[in-house]
Amino acid sequence: MTSSHEPKNKRKADARTKLLEAALSVIRAKGYSATSVDDLCRAAGVTKGAFFHHFKTKDDLAVTAADYWSETTGALFKGAPYHDHEDPLDRFLGYLDFRKALIAGAVPEFTCLVGTMTQEVYDTSPTIRDACADSICGHADTLVADIAEAAERHGITLPCSSESLALHTQAVIQGGFIVAKARNEPQQAIDSIDHLIRYVRLLFNLSA
C-alpha cells in the first residue's frame, strides 16, 4: 500500500510503472488481444481508476509500453559485455551470443513484447504498429556501426547494406520466437540464432 505521506506525483509514477511492467509480462504471456485492462490492473496491483488516470485506453498503454520496452531492454544491451571487444566483428558476434544467452525459462519470459504486439495489430492499430517498428528498428540501428566497421576492418564487401543486415538479425530472432511459440520449444529460437551466427561468419570468411 502506498503511504499517504509520499508525494502525490510519486504515487502516480509508481502506479504507471507497475502497469507498464505488468504489460511487459502479461501481454507476452497472453497476447495483446487477449489481455484485458482488468488483467493488467490485477497483475499491477492497481485499480482501474489508476489505469485510466494514466492511460486513456489499452491501446494508449500499448504505445507507451513499446517505448518502455525499448528503454528497459536498451539499458540491458547497452551494459552487455559484448561491447568490451576491441574487434567490431567480435562485438557483432558477441551480440548474437548474448541474444542466445537470453533465451531461458518459459517462452513468454524471453520473447519480445513489440514483436508479439506487431503480429496482432499491424493492420488494425497503426499507432501501436509504428511504436513497435520504432522499437525493433531502433534496436537494429545499434548494430549498424559495428557491422560497417567490421566489414571495413576485415576487408569484406557485404552483399547488402549494414542497415539491411542489422534488420535481418531482428527478422531471424523474431522469427525464431514465433517458431518457439508455435512448437512451445525454446530450443527453436536458439537454433535460429545459431544459423544466423553461421551465416554471419560465412559473410566474413570465417569458419562456420
Per the listing, cell 576492418 goes with: 153
10 Å CB burial of residue 65 (0-12, 13-18, 19+) is buried
What separation in angstroms does the CA of 137 have from each of 124, 166, 188? 20, 9, 23
Q: Is the pLDDT of residue 11 over 60?
A: no
Over range 96-103, report the average pLDDT: 98
0.85 cut: is pTM over it?
A: yes
| Confidence category of residue 207, pLDDT binned at 50, 70, 90 | confident
Over range 14-42, report the average pLDDT: 97
Residue type, 61: L
Residue 104: how many CA atoms within 13 Å on its side-chain side? 5
- Least Cα distance to 20 among 49, 3, 43, 48 occurs for 43
Distance CA 27, CA 113 (A): 7
Within 31-125, where are the H helices? 37-44, 48-54, 58-78, 88-101, 107-110, 113-121
| Confidence category of residue 166, pLDDT binned at 50, 70, 90 | very high
